Amino acid sequence: MSKIWDSYAAEVQRHPFFNTAVEYLSTISPAQWCQAFYLLAAGCVLVVASTPAEARGLLVNYGARKATSSPLTSLPASQVKTSTSAQETNGRGHGHVPEEKTKRKTNYLVSLIAWLTSYGQVPHAWFSAFYIVSAACSLSWAAQYFRLVSLNTTTAAQNSSPNDARYAQALPLHMIASKQVALSTSTSTDDTYTAMVTVTQAQLFLAWGMMFLQASRRIYEHMTIIKPSRSTMWVVHWVLGLGFYVVTNVAVWVEGSATILNPSISINNFTSTPSTNLKILISIPLFLYAWTTQYLCHKHLANLIKYSLPDPQKAPLFKYLISPHYTCECLIYLSITIVAAPQEHYINRTLLCGLVFVIANLGVTAKGTRQWYADKFGEQAVRGKWNMIPFVF
């Protein structure tokens, strides 16, 4: 069996398409891999959002919305039959065969998705793993950076050894940054937006700090204010969430790879151009507002009686928005997208793709929350409110 597999693998490797694919993949920079992950994930979310309501509920609902959802597969057979019979006899005594076929296909789809999602359900409490992983990634990248600073200082003092250089090059931070700079300089000669148009050390530290603060606060919330729940979510959601936080903790610094490869701690490294200062002045207040407001929203939601409406008197943003905590999440990533933008640019392209995913993912959930509120408390409970983005959505 091993010989057959080795023969097959060798045949594949000799195929021209294989060599072309490998050559192409080797030209994709780490930043582009991050961008591809975000956009592909966002596309998958939007595909799920376009499925029939019953199927969509099985794929994306969790917690209260999952507990109260009732796809067609959960209806008693008598109700399904009655509903179908009424449709078949609608009109001049003739059945609507196309509609019946469409419903039958929908039911097959819902049944298939129900079967798939019945496997791999994990506790909703596992959400906390997202933030633990995110905080761990932030600390890991920071530790590697300061190790590079130490090795760079030793080299400058001519006290380094060949082992120090090999150790530095083996660090994942150094490997990814080297790949990013090498590919950016070789494939983006006509594009001023490259890793060599770098992010300053101050911007790197701020972006790192923002990600770490967000993860730390969410860990604190899970430990103190979020109540235990028996609700579950599909393991695919959980894996996607882990992937997002791992990728984002690379995305916050990958476009500053040139700075990563020239590590040092000096006051001169924190001097910035007027455009960089402007980005910092915009992003820090925006982040702090969204960061604190999201905490207050989460605290309010955690203190509500189960399956009740938020109180606009205690949390004013709920008067205008269905999910203001999602609005804050978008603002948090917008602030990081601004603060990590390369010099002479006002956005970080990689993190902008991440923001697209955040908006798509939370937008679908916010829309589902609106429907849940309307079904449970009546249309008046959501009338005049935006789902997540004021004046837009």
pLDDT tens-digit series, residues 123-140: 878 889 999 999 999 999
DSSP conformation letters of 94-151: ---HHHHHHHHHHHHHHHHHHHHHTSSEEEGGGGHHHHHHHHHHHHHHHHHHHHHHHH
Mean pLDDT of 87-111: 54
Residue 95's pLDDT band, with cuts at 50, 70 and 90, is very low
Query: Which of 118 and 156 is assigned the larger pLDDT?
Result: 118
HSE of 41, CA atoms in CB hemisphere, 13 A = 28
Please indicate whether residue 191 or residue 147 has the higher confidence score (pLDDT). 147
pLDDT of residue 288: 97
Q: What is the pLDDT of residue 17?
A: 66
Lowest-confidence pick of 20-24, 151-155, 202-206, 338-342: 151-155
Strands 121-123 and 232-234: antiparallel
Whether the CB-CB separation of 207 and 340 falls below 8 Å is answered with yes
Query: pLDDT per residue over 45-64, tens digit each?
Result: 998 888 777 776 767 766 55
> How high does pLDDT run on average in the chain?
80
Q: Is the pLDDT of residue 219 over 90?
A: yes
- Reduced to 3 states, what is the DSSP secondary structure of residue 234? strand
What does the H/E/C string look like for 323-379? CHHHHHHHHHHHHHHHHCCCCCCCCCHHHHHHHHHHHHHHHHHHHHHHHHHHHHHCH
pLDDT of residue 208: 93
User: Which of 294 and 147 is assigned the larger pLDDT?
Assistant: 294
Greater model confidence, 89 or 333: 333
What are the tens digits of pLDDT across the range 262-320? Answer: 866 655 556 677 888 899 999 999 999 999 999 999 999 999 888 788 988 889 999 99
81 pLDDT more than 70: no
One-letter amino acid at 179 equals K
Summarize the confidence of residues 204-211 as an average pLDDT.
Answer: 94
Provide the pLDDT for residue 98. 52
Q: Quick one: pLDDT at residue 53?
A: 74
C-beta separation of 240 from 153 below 8 A: no
Q: How far is CA 313 from the centre of its chain?
A: 31
In sequence order, which residues have a C-beta less than 8 Å from that of residue 314 and are 6 or more positions away? 300
